[in-house]
Amino acid sequence: MLTTAAGLFCYFHQNATVVVVAPTVTQVSFDFYYTGTTTAQPYTDFTDTSATSYSWILNRSGTSTSKTIFTASGSGTPTGTDNITYTGSTYVNYWYWYIVTVTNSVGSASYTTARKQNVPV
């Protein structure tokens, strides 16, 4: 703010620059609903910052280290804390894990859950 010779105040305005930062993502949980059945539902919850979209892949394998078998994928718009639940058929004693990726115009971030076995309880 400046004062003119006549004692009037002058204000100068500068438009703000919007800075977009790379997104971050944090896994909150990973487990099964109805574990140990062919209707087990592997799910993961996550939080993010600055993301405008997310995508996910669910994989499975017959052992904790055997060949990866693609199971399902999807995408969405993040809302704060998000939940991804696979409701298709699953295999008892198979191992499942998610890869979740969030993105915005600057970049992406992802996490991979640990492999978890669909074991009867």
**Rounded distance between C-alpha atoms, residue 116 and residue 76, angstroms:** 24
Residues 19-75: tens digit of each pLDDT: 889 999 999 999 999 999 999 999 999 999 999 999 999 999 999 999 999 999 999
Confidence of residue 12 (pLDDT cuts 50, 70, 90): low
Q: What is the pLDDT of residue 6?
A: 64
Q: 105 phi and psi, to 5 degrees?
A: -70, -15
Q: 44 phi and psi, to 5 degrees?
A: -140, 145
Do 116 and 70 meet the contact criterion of CB atoms below 8 Å apart? no
Residues 63-90: tens digit of each pLDDT: 999 999 999 999 999 998 999 999 999 9
Domain boundaries, the chain: 23-117
Strands, sheet with 81-85, edge to edge from the N-terminal-most edge strand: 24-33, 41-49, 81-85
The residue type at 33:
Y
CATH assignment of 23-117? Answer: 2.60.40.10
With 70 as the cut, is the pLDDT of residue 7 above it? Answer: no
